[in-house]
């Protein structure tokens, strides 16, 4: 039986260009001071976008878990990402904002959409699964389209990632630490969350340069370090010297890191299946977290 999450992972290449064809006028404009908020997966997409937008020179961009938003701070635009549009922290935050704000949601009839100043809805990216994959990456594809990025090229990379062999055997590891740099730190956190949610598997995530400052203490045989995006030079050798496995963009690999995230999503599903778990039914988790 093909699980919902497998279908959602495999359809990302078709759905990203649909997200990028929405009205981009509602998205942050060049030079605006922007905050992006979300919870769980949506927070990690916010982190990735914030670093990406700043590094491409579009303006100061902060990312917050919705409950940690500094309410006294003024932004030109607050962007809230929420698949369900019902997550308590998001609905509360949008209800209390006085400045311009935009909600990126799966359900246009959700409470978050009703409270937001502007809404971009991606019902075609919405999911049956508890574990988010396609909605989150589609929201990020939409935001990247707003930065002038070529989403058709990303979708082509995504197609390769859907078909590629997995870079790590789920039977070969007991722990994985994901690392990234710049905007891929958010993607590393998201990759780690997928393995925890879908497979109840021990993962961690860090900025790649911080990996040497402590996290390397747990590196050992049957454990792996997996980089999203290009790794810092020397990291692979440091990791393999401990007996741990290093997984990184292979030589000549040119996949966009969002396509590399698809490999990690697929790895999370493979891990769940290897551990005899249904990735559509994560332990202790519901589709939206309501307080």
Binding residues for ligand F1P restricted to 272-291, rule: CB under 6 A: 287-289
CB-nearer residue toward ligand F1P: 146 or 282: 282
CB-nearer residue toward ligand F1P: 130 or 164: 130
Give the range of 36-44, 158-166, 177-185, 272-280 binding ligand F1P by CB under 6 A.
36-44
Nearest approach in angstroms of CB 209 to ligand F1P is 26
Give the range of 23-31, 35-43, 166-174, 217-225 binding ligand F1P by CB under 6 A.
35-43
Binding residues for ligand F1P restricted to 41-100, rule: CB under 6 A: 41-42, 82-84, 87, 90
Q: How does 183-195 read in b/e, with b if 16+ C-beta sit within 10 Å?
A: bbbbbbbbbbbbb
∠ CA 31-51-58, nearest 5°, is 20
Nearest approach in angstroms of CB 87 to ligand F1P is 3
When CB distances to ligand F1P are compared, the closest residue is 40
What residues are paired with 101 via a beta bridge?
78
Nearest approach in angstroms of CB 211 to ligand F1P is 24
Q: Is 40 in the site for ligand F1P (CB under 6 A)?
A: yes
């Amino acid at each position: 039986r093909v699980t919902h999450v497998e279908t959602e992972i495999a359809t990302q290449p078709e759905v990203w260009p649909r997200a990028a064809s929405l009205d981009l006028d509602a998205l942050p404009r060049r030079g605006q001071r922007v905050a992006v908020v979300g919870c769980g997966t949506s927070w990690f997409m916010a982190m990735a976008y914030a670093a990406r937008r700043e590094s491409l020179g579009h303006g100061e961009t902060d990312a917050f878990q919705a409950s940690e938003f500094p309410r006294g701070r003024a932004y030109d635009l607050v962007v809230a990402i929420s698949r369900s549009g019902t997550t308590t922290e998001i609905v509360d935050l949008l209800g209390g904002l006085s400045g311009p704000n935009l909600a990126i949601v799966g359900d246009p009839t959700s409470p978050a959409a009703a409270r937001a100043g502007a809404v971009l809805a991606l019902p075609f990216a919405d999911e049956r699964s508890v574990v988010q994959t396609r909605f989150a990456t589609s929201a990020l594809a939409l935001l990247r389209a707003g930065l002038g990025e070529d989403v058709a090229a990303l979708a082509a990379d995504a197609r390769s990632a859907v078909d590629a062999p997995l870079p790590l055997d789920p039977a070969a590891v007991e722990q994985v630490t994901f690392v990234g740099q710049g905007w891929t730190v958010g993607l590393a956190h998201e990759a780690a969350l997928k393995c925890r949610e879908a497979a109840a598997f021990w993962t961690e995530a860090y900025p790649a340069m911080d990996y040497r400052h402590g996290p390397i203490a747990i590196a050992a045989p049957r454990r792996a370090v997996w980089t999203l995006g290009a790794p810092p030079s020397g990291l692979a050798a440091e990791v393999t010297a401990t007996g741990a496995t290093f997984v990184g963009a292979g030589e000549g690999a040119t996949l966009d890191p969002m396509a590399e995230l698809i490999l990690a999503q697929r790895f999370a599903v493979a891990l769940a299946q290897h551990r005899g778990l249904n990735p559509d039914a994560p332990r202790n988790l519901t589709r939206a977290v309501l307080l």
